[in-house]
Amino acid sequence: MVDLHAHILPNVDHGSNGINTSLQQIRMAEKAGVKKIVATPHFYNNKDNLSEFLDRRDAGYNALKNTLTAKNINIEIIKAAEVNLQVDLFKNDLRKLCIGDTNYLLLEMPMNVNWTFWHYDAIDEIIALGINPIIAHINRYSSYFLQRLFKKDILYQINIEAFLTFSSRRKALSLYKNGYAHFIGSDIHGKDNNPYEIMAKYKTKYSKVFNDFELNSYSILNS
């Protein structure tokens, strides 16, 4: 399994306060059969300086990679970011925040504000730069705002939490069937919740769906 959205790098964002937390997160993933984790620390344009962020991310990535090698844990970590869509975002070279060496970018839409024409146009602007946005945790936004987004030819990541309850699962499966869920993510923060247990459970129950998530993940990671 590939986890396309995870806050597992030590001391990069609030997802992990150190290598011990990261290691516990990785152990949960390992137990669930995850082979690759796309590490997506939050990038907030209004708070983060890009070069400082990249240095911090490199340090976290190297620390985790060394630990995984020392402990013989065979999970690949891929550097990426969860980029919050904000005004002035374009002053940054967004390629540096893409997933690994690809031109795919995990993009978080604003949560507690109305989406305006600017937000929808910004997505077109990202595409015009030759970057493919993947909208993070599609299950979390209001369907009112999503309708306009769905007119665009873009990709979507869904969080495993969407499979937890009957009604949210029905919505998740409907998003998948309609072509609005391409990748699965744990969106793990900290070590107190284990989203990988939910992933392991539903990957067996909905094997075709999770197989498609897997194929789509490999397809972009190998692009």
Interface residues with Fe ion (CB under 5 A) are 82, 187
We find the least distance from the C-beta atom of residue 25 to Fe ion, in angstroms, to be 13
How far apart are the C-alpha atoms of 177 and 183, rounded to whole Å? 13
Helix axes of 195-205 and 19-31: crossing angle, nearest 10 degrees = 20
Which residue's beta carbon is nearest to the bound Fe ion? 187
We find the least distance from the C-beta atom of residue 187 to Fe ion, in angstroms, to be 4
CA–CA distance from 125 to each of 8, 16, 96, 147, 204 (Å)? 29, 32, 16, 19, 39
List the structure tokens of 60. 């976290």
Q: Which CB sits closer to Fe ion, 14 or 31?
A: 14
We find the least distance from the C-beta atom of residue 201 to Fe ion, in angstroms, to be 21
How far apart are the C-alpha atoms of 75 and 162, rounded to whole Å? 24
Q: Which CB sits closer to Fe ion, 100 or 190?
A: 190
We find the least distance from the C-beta atom of residue 188 to Fe ion, in angstroms, to be 9
Instruction: Write the secondary structure of 8-40 as one string of H (helix), E (strand) and C (coil).
Output: CCCCCCCCCCCHHHHHHHHHHHHHCCCCEEEEC
Q: Which CB sits closer to Fe ion, 13 or 214?
A: 13
Q: Which CB sits closer to Fe ion, 42 or 66?
A: 42
Q: Which CB sits closer to Fe ion, 48 or 187?
A: 187
How far apart are the C-alpha atoms of 217 and 1, rounded to whole Å? 9
We find the least distance from the C-beta atom of residue 7 to Fe ion, in angstroms, to be 6
